[in-house]
Amino acid sequence: MTFGPGPSDIDLLIGDRPGGPVRFRRRRRVSARAAVVATVSTLVFFGALVLAVTNAPGWAQVQRSFLNAKFFWGSLPDVVAHFWVNVQLFVIAEVLILVLGLVLAVLRSLPGPVFFPVRLLATFYVDLFRAIPGVLVIYMLGFGIPGLGIAGIPVDPFVWAVVALTLLYSAYVSEVYRAGIESIHPSQEAAARSLGLNRAQALRFVVLPQAVRRVIPPLLNDFIGLQKDTVLVSFVGVVDIFRSAQIKQAATFNFTPYLAVALVFILMTFPLARVVDWLVARDRARASAGAR
Amino acid sequence: MTAMTAVPATPEPNAAPALRIEGLYKSFGPLQVLRGIDLAVAEHEVVCLIGASGSGKSTLLRCVNLLEDVDAGRIVVGGEEITAPKVDVDRIRRDIGIVFQSYNLFPHMRVVDNVALAPRRVLKRPAARAEAEAMALLERFGLVEKAHDYPDRLSGGQQQRVAIVRALAMEPRLLLLDEITSALDPELVAEVLDVIRELAAGGMTMVIATHEMGFARDIADRVCFLDAGRILEEGTPDQIFRDPREGRTRQFLDRVIAAGRL
């Protein structure tokens, strides 16, 4: 920044000079400088970090057991193949969660004393499944229900893993939906009802379409969480991406396969996180355009 | 055009009132908003409700549309008591249109879908017919070029006209207008009031809460001055605006004139 004699604010605001308005030229110079500072400080920070780690006394051993190229490439095809199990898990669960979460949210927003027991039950459900650690639900359903030995009930742990993830995440997702429903101004429902639409029609055609649009970013956030939590199903005997890495690790005493697992999740989650950011930015731009 | 009260408007004797309100009370918690409203509106009559903010105009209209429960009193529309217990409120609301100060268009639907929604879903008209009828109405009110836009692309005046058209699409027998120009920029008020004039000329029965005194004077068959939840004075526009009987009415009108709104 210049302190002594320099362009005054007035000068900066006057345009019509070769090379465009001074203000804009100055801004461009400042942003170029900011980029250089950011690059240098990033390099310095991460350089120091890498130096600290690689000079640690146990680095050589850690590198052998966690960052082994041979084990990495050896385990990658198998790890990727088993990722298909996780994909099936979260795709099926996500569809079920979207439905069950919406049902729970609507049940919780039913008005009037008649529906008190319904609201109470739905609230209890949501509180309950947000309270219990997910791995416990997966254990109890995955081992407990097949253990009952009732004829006709599936014993495939995959099925109960889907059920457990659906029950767990529907509780979270219903809260997201509910926040969306409550964010729609009551005057919208009043306008719909005044035209003769009944409560269900007002919800279906006026409130929910607006609410769902508004909660897509937080819904995708919950789904990122769900996708990672699919590895919990390995605890009840489903051989998924995590289990396959574990089997490799147990056979070779090398932890590098876990790195491959992490990489697969990163490659899947990063783009989704960008999509969420993009949706949020777009909605914000739209909201400010609508408020003209 | 009323037979119910001592109003020297053009009479249509013995016509059943389109709307009759008897002894209406409404409180929000400790706040008494309506304290014994009696009002009858004849078919094709235009009644304007004037009065200070908080005098109960909006609440009265919302009660007639059953958007608020009443504490005591009766509301009869077309001979049917709509405040009776176990009445089908959705069926009643079909016949009573209301337009709000804040338009309340559905922002996720195009203009034509805003208008066609209730005919489709409530009257079960086929989609094509509901849309054609909506387009015809939009055409009539000069909004047809906006039919496929979303509401946020429209000016306030256009949005409010769409809200009126949306209410008209249900062919209501009674139209309630709740300060429909209060949220508009001054230069947009006229286009909305012109629509109301046209509806009045067409014989629509209307109850209009308004701060536009010039408009009320112009369009109303009868003007009611509300004060603290009661109809303090009612009469023809000439009588109310030229020669109010009540001191409170005169006081209110003086303030309005001082503010340059008459």
Give the span between the Cα atoms of B209 and B57, in whole angstroms: 6
Residue-wise pLDDT for B156-194, tens only, equals 999 999 999 999 999 999 999 999 988 888 888 889 999
Residue-wise pLDDT for B222-252, tens only, equals 999 999 999 999 999 999 999 999 999 999 9
Query: Tell me, what amino acid is at B257?
Result: I
pLDDT(A5) > 60: no
Q: Which residue of A has its CA nearest to B98?
A: A194
- What is the least distance, in Å, from the CA of B121 to any CA of chain A? 7
Helices (H), A111-207: 116-131, 134-139, 145-147, 157-183, 186-194, 199-202
CB contact under 8 A, A196 and B90: yes
Residue-wise pLDDT for B38-97, tens only, equals 999 999 999 999 999 889 999 999 999 999 999 999 999 988 899 988 889 888 899 999
Q: pLDDT grade, residue B262 (50/70/90)? A: low
Strands B46-50 and B222-227: parallel
Q: What is the pLDDT of residue A76?
A: 87
**Among partner residues A188, A193, A209, which is closest to B93 by beta-carbon distance?**
A193
Least confident of A55-64, A148-157, A278-287: A278-287
Per DSSP, the residues of B6-30 read S--SPP-TTPPEEEEEEEEEEEETT
Under 8 Å CB-to-CB from B192, ≥6 apart: which residues?
Answer: B157, B160, B161, B164, B180, B181, B184
pLDDT(A149) > 70: yes
CB contact under 8 A, B94 and A192: no
> Which two three-digit tokens encode residue B22?
């008897």
CB contact under 8 A, B166 and A195: yes
B179-197 in b/e form (b: 16+ CB < 10 A) is: bbbeebeeebbebbbebbe
pLDDT(B8) > 70: no
pLDDT(B204) > 90: yes
CB contact under 8 A, A197 and B65: no
Burial of B158 by CB count in 10 Å (0-12 exposed, 13-18 middle, 19+ buried)? buried
Tell how far CA A165 is from the center of its chain.
15
When scoring A187, A193, A194, A216 by the number of chain B Cβ atoms within 10 A, the one with the most, hence best to mutate, is: A194
Strands B31-42 and B80-81: unpaired
Kindly state the average pLDDT of the residues A69-98. Answer: 91
- What is the least distance, in Å, from the CA of B245 to any CA of chain A? 36
Tell me whether B127 touches chain A (CB under 8 Å).
Answer: no
CB contact under 8 A, B117 and A187: no
pTM: 0.80
Tell how far CA A280 is from the center of its chain.
13
Q: What is the mean pLDDT of chain B?
A: 90
Residue-wise pLDDT for A238-284, tens only, equals 888 999 888 888 888 888 889 889 999 999 889 888 888 888 888 77
Q: pLDDT grade, residue B199 (50/70/90)? A: very high
What ipTM was assigned to the predicted interfaces of this complex? 0.87
Q: Which of B213, B216, B215 is nearest to B259 (CA)?
A: B213
Residue-wise pLDDT for B119-136, tens only, equals 999 999 999 999 999 999
CB atoms closer than 10 angstroms to residue A253:
8
Residue-wise pLDDT for A14-56, tens only, equals 444 455 555 556 666 778 889 999 999 999 999 999 999 988 8
- Is A253:A65 a contact under the CB 8 Å cutoff? yes
